[in-house]
């Protein structure tokens, strides 16, 4: 039988009779939402007649393992990090092609054998604080620039495409055994003793684990570390100021019902059937969610229109209001990110309001989108409530256009409104996405679209006048917010750079102002972009497609507004 890579989080959820598919909780499911799977998707053949050299007997239960991302029951992830230019970045990676089995005897509360195999090249990124997390795939698989100009690869996939772990000895802590692992799970009960083969190097490992039996279930949890250098990877780190961790942090959990999976063929068929049903249900839920969102938008629009038409509504004396004010958001252990608001006088049925001087930047948006202000469990819970977006698809083009003080791009209106809600909670002041009428009113008061091409070039960032910068490997077509001249209101980039979401647009979801990929002849006061999922997300690989991001139309961003007080 083939063997396994100890590469990190294993979560096994199995079908029990007709009880359905256990996916480790909604937070676990959400964490994998919208992640790209690499082209390598190999079915690992598993021979259940022998597991780690052990031949199962009639009283044993044998459970086959298969990657969750292949429609199976196993999740496999590791954690590590690197320091670059004085900043620390942590990375998680996940594999998509694996197999193996676990054997146990329910009546005796005893695990007999464990064996897992993983195809190393079936790798994709899981999560990262780094601005370009997909680049870690190159480091892991050695696909990027090799030494002396790049990092050593972590795996020798040419000579050793698979890695293995096999164990047949499970020693109870009650017998007086100890562990040298500093991060052993609290309350660990057993040591799992086995051999780990990676890059052609075989090491004996003793993994501290919590092993419990009860109510017909088996639970295993283990935390441990491995050293890359111990398996033939000597970090050379030739880039000045950059180092990649030698130690890889690993966590594994196994959850199974003893009555499940005696016949691996039947189990696989049931998993495939259940996975198909789940995909169909998710699509139906997504469609219903979109319909409910449209109803909510219509109600919110009606409420705003009713409020604006109340005859007794007090007149706002803009003469006594500040022309501008500055607010800020604060992420833990980071400098505050400030933003300036500009007063827009009322008129044409629009009451006065404040509009952000600049489009929301990646500096202001990125940490919120990737949940750096909360822990992993809180982040997953917020995602299930549509209060935080799922991670970007790994090759979305907006990350190639520059981060920092450039406009945040590619998000849907759902994401824009969730971000405005969060800013409101952080600041105590009600921020929101502007109405279509407010946006067009601000454009008009700001001077509209300049009549001359020369004046348009001074205000707008678009493809005919973008500062194209070849900063390998990126081609930057957006510009730092505020680089171009402000309009008559003192507001920057209402034309070009990022198109901007507006609300109260009926059945259509609309962006205004044009964007950096438009030609000069496209700029006019009435320009708008209407969301089209089939076009904007044509090549998005998952079903249902993301409701938070667009892969093929990544030109839209956010500008905040606030009502006068």
Q: Are residues 57 and 114 in the same domain?
A: yes
Binning pLDDT at 50, 70 and 90, where does residue 99 land? confident
Q: Which of 273-277, 289-293, 381-385 has the highest mean pLDDT?
A: 381-385
Out of 241, 273, 305, pick the residue that ends a domain. Answer: 273
Asked, for residue 43, whether it belongs to a domain, the answer is yes
pLDDT of residue 137: 58
pLDDT of residue 36: 38
Q: Is 75 helix (H, G, I), strand (E, B) or coil?
A: strand
pLDDT of residue 259: 45
Q: Which of 36-40, 245-249, 362-366, 374-378 has the highest mean pLDDT?
A: 362-366
Q: Are residues 251 and 324 in the same domain?
A: no
C-alpha–C-alpha distance, residues 325 and 292, integer Å: 36
Q: Give the CA distances from residue 548 to residues 100, 285, 360, 433, in Å, rounded to whole numbers and listed in that order.
A: 35, 15, 16, 15
Neighbours of 216 (CB within 10 A): 11
The pLDDT > 70 percentage for the chain reads 69
CA 112, distance to chain mean position in Å, is 37
pLDDT of residue 8: 35
Q: Residue 84's closest CA among 323, 244, 296, 319?
A: 244
Residue 449 has pLDDT above 70, yes or no: yes
Binning pLDDT at 50, 70 and 90, where does residue 312 land? very low
Q: What is the DSSP letter of 287?
A: H
pLDDT of residue 484: 95
Q: Are residues 208 and 339 in the same domain?
A: no
Give the CATH number of the domain where residue 136 resides.
Answer: 2.40.128.110
Cβ proximity of 468 and 476 under 8 Å? yes
C-alpha–C-alpha distance, residues 465 and 462, integer Å: 6
Lowest pLDDT segment from 26-35, 88-97, 103-112: 26-35
Phi-psi region of 163 (alpha: psi -120 to 50; beta: other; left: phi over 0): beta
Q: Are residues 257 and 339 in the same domain?
A: no
pLDDT of residue 280: 67
Asked, for residue 6, whether it belongs to a domain, the answer is no
Q: Which one has a higher pLDDT value, 463 or 382?
A: 382
Residue 32 has pLDDT above 50, yes or no: no
Average pLDDT value for residue range 113-133:
71
Q: Are residues 39 and 174 in the same domain?
A: yes
Q: Which one has a higher pLDDT value, 342 or 245?
A: 342
Residue 394 has pLDDT above 60, yes or no: no
Q: Which of 97-111, 232-246, 387-401 has the highest mean pLDDT?
A: 97-111
Phi-psi region of 216 (alpha: psi -120 to 50; beta: other; left: phi over 0): left
Torsion angle of alpha carbons 558, 418, 297, 359, nearest 10°? -10
Residue 156 has pLDDT above 50, yes or no: yes
* Cα atoms in the Cβ-side hemisphere of radius 13 Å centred on 465: 17
Mean pLDDT estimate for the chain: 76
Phi-psi region of 412 (alpha: psi -120 to 50; beta: other; left: phi over 0): beta
Q: Residue 25's closest CA among 255, 261, 260?
A: 255
pLDDT of residue 88: 79
Neighbours of 251 (CB within 10 A): 17
pLDDT of residue 403: 81
Q: Which one has a higher pLDDT value, 430 or 67?
A: 430
Asked, for residue 300, whether it belongs to a domain, the answer is no
Binning pLDDT at 50, 70 and 90, where does residue 78 land? confident
pLDDT of residue 195: 92
CA angle 385, 564, 357 (to 5 degrees): 80
Q: Which of 69-78, 220-229, 252-261, 279-288 has the highest mean pLDDT?
A: 220-229
Cβ proximity of 555 and 499 under 8 Å? yes
pLDDT of residue 450: 95
C-alpha–C-alpha distance, residues 183 and 227, integer Å: 14
Binning pLDDT at 50, 70 and 90, where does residue 493 land? very high
C-alpha–C-alpha distance, residues 222 and 206, integer Å: 10
Q: Are residues 240 and 376 in the same domain?
A: no
Asked, for residue 286, whether it belongs to a domain, the answer is no
Q: What is the DSSP letter of 67?
A: B
Q: Are residues 253 and 335 in the same domain?
A: no
Q: Give the CA distances from residue 273 to residues 32, 75, 264, 498, 541, in Å, rounded to whole numbers and listed in that order.
A: 20, 19, 14, 43, 20
Find all residues with CB under 8 Å of 166, minimum gap 6, and list them.
3, 4, 52, 53, 113, 114, 115, 194, 195
Average pLDDT value for residue range 502-506:
92
Residue labelled with tokens 């081609």: 475
Residue 101 has pLDDT above 80, yes or no: yes
Range of the domain at 485: 318-563
Binning pLDDT at 50, 70 and 90, where does residue 264 land? very low
Q: Which one has a higher pLDDT value, 480 or 173?
A: 480
pLDDT of residue 361: 95
C-alpha–C-alpha distance, residues 251 and 296, integer Å: 42
Binning pLDDT at 50, 70 and 90, where does residue 431 land? very high
Binning pLDDT at 50, 70 and 90, where does residue 428 land? very high
Average pLDDT value for residue range 320-335:
94
Q: Are residues 333 and 251 in the same domain?
A: no
Q: Are residues 362 and 460 in the same domain?
A: yes
pLDDT of residue 48: 76
Average pLDDT value for residue range 456-472:
72
Lowest pLDDT segment from 6-20, 237-251, 328-342, 490-504: 6-20
C-alpha–C-alpha distance, residues 201 and 196, integer Å: 8
Average pLDDT value for residue range 237-266:
61
Number of domains in the chain: 2
pLDDT of residue 273: 67
Asked, for residue 299, whether it belongs to a domain, the answer is no
Asked, for residue 4, whether it belongs to a domain, the answer is no
Residue 424 has pLDDT above 90, yes or no: yes
Q: Which one has a higher pLDDT value, 159 or 290?
A: 159
- Cβ burial of 10 (10 Å; 0-12, 13-18, 19+) is buried
Q: What is the H or E stretch that residue 476 is in?
A: strand 474-476
Q: Are residues 261 and 365 in the same domain?
A: no
Residue 477 has pLDDT above 60, yes or no: yes
Asked, for residue 251, whether it belongs to a domain, the answer is yes
Render pLDDT for 344-354 as a digit per residue (tens, 0 to 9).
999 988 999 99
Asked, for residue 295, whether it belongs to a domain, the answer is no
| SS3 readout for 100-119 | EEEEEECCCCEEEEEEEEEE
Q: Are residues 255 and 337 in the same domain?
A: no
Q: Are residues 403 and 544 in the same domain?
A: yes
Average pLDDT value for residue range 299-307:
65
Residue 262 has pLDDT above 70, yes or no: no
> Residues 509-513: contacts with CB within 8 Å, 24+ apart?
509/412, 509/413, 510/436, 511/555, 511/556, 512/436, 512/439, 512/440, 512/443, 513/439, 513/443
Q: What is the DSSP letter of 549?
A: B
pLDDT of residue 93: 72
Residue 172 has pLDDT above 80, yes or no: yes
């Amino acid at each position: 039988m083939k063997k396994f890579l100890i590469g990190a989080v294993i979560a096994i959820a199995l079908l029990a009779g007709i009880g359905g598919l256990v996916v480790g909780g909604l937070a676990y499911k959400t964490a994998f939402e919208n992640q790209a799977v690499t082209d390598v998707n190999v079915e690992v053949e598993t021979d259940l007649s022998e597991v780690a050299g052990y031949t199962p007997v009639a009283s044993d239960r044998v459970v086959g393992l298969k990657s969750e991302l292949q429609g199976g029951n196993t999740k496999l992830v590791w954690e590590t990090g690197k320091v670059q230019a004085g900043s620390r970045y942590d990375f998680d990676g996940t594999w998509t092609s694996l197999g193996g089995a676990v054997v146990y005897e329910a009546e005796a509360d005893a695990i007999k054998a464990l064996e897992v195999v993983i195809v190393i090249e079936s790798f994709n990124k899981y999560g990262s604080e780094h601005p370009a997390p997909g680049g870690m795939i190159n480091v892991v698989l050695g696909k990027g620039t090799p030494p002396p100009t790049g990092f050593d690869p972590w795996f020798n996939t040419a000579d050793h495409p698979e890695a293995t772990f096999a164990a047949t000895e499970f020693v109870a802590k009650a017998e007086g055994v100890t562990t040298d692992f500093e991060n052993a799970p609290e309350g660990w009960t057993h040591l799992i003793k086995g051999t780990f083969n990676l890059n052609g190097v075989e090491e004996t490992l003793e993994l501290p684990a919590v092993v419990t039996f009860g109510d017909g279930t088996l639970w295993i949890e283990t935390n441990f570390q491995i050293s890359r250098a111990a398996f033939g990877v000597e970090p050379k780190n030739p880039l000045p100021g950059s180092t990649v961790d030698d130690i890889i942090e690993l966590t594994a959990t196994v959850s199974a019902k003893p009555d499940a999976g005696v016949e691996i063929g039947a189990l696989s068929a049931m998993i495939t059937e259940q996975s198909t049903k789940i995909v169909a249900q998710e699509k139906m839920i997504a469609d219903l969610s979109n319909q409910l969102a449209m109803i909510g938008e219509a109600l919110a629009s009606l409420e705003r229109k009713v409020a604006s038409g109340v005859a007794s509504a007090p007149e706002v004396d803009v003469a006594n209001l500040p022309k501008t004010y500055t607010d800020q958001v604060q992420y833990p252990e980071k400098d505050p990110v400030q933003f300036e608001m500009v007063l827009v006088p009322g008129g044409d049925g629009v009451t006065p309001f404040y509009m952000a001087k600049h489009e929301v930047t990646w500096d202001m948006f990125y940490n919120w989108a990737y949940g750096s202000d909360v822990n992993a469990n809180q982040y997953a819970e917020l995602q299930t409530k549509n209060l935080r977006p799922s991670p970007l698809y790994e090759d979305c083009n907006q990350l190639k256009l520059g981060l920092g003080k450039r406009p945040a791009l590619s998000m849907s209106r759902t994401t824009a409104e969730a971000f405005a809600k969060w800013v409101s909670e952080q600041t105590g002041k009600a921020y929101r996405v502007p109405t279509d009428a407010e946006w067009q009113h601000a454009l008009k008061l700001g001077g509209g679209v300049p009549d001359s091409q020369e004046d348009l070039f001074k205000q707008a960032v678009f493809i005919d006048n973008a500062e194209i910068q070849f900063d390998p490997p990126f081609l930057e077509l957006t510009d730092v917010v505020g680089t171009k001249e402000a309009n008559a209101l003192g507001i920057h980039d209402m034309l070009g750079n990022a198109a901007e979401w507006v609300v109260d647009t009926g059945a259509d979801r609309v962006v205004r102002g044009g964007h950096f990929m438009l030609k000069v002849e496209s700029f006019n006061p009435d320009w708008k972009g209407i969301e089209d999922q089939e076009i904007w997300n044509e090549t998005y690989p998952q079903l249902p497609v993301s409701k938070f991001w667009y892969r093929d139309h990544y030109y839209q961003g956010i500008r905040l507004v606030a009502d006068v007080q």
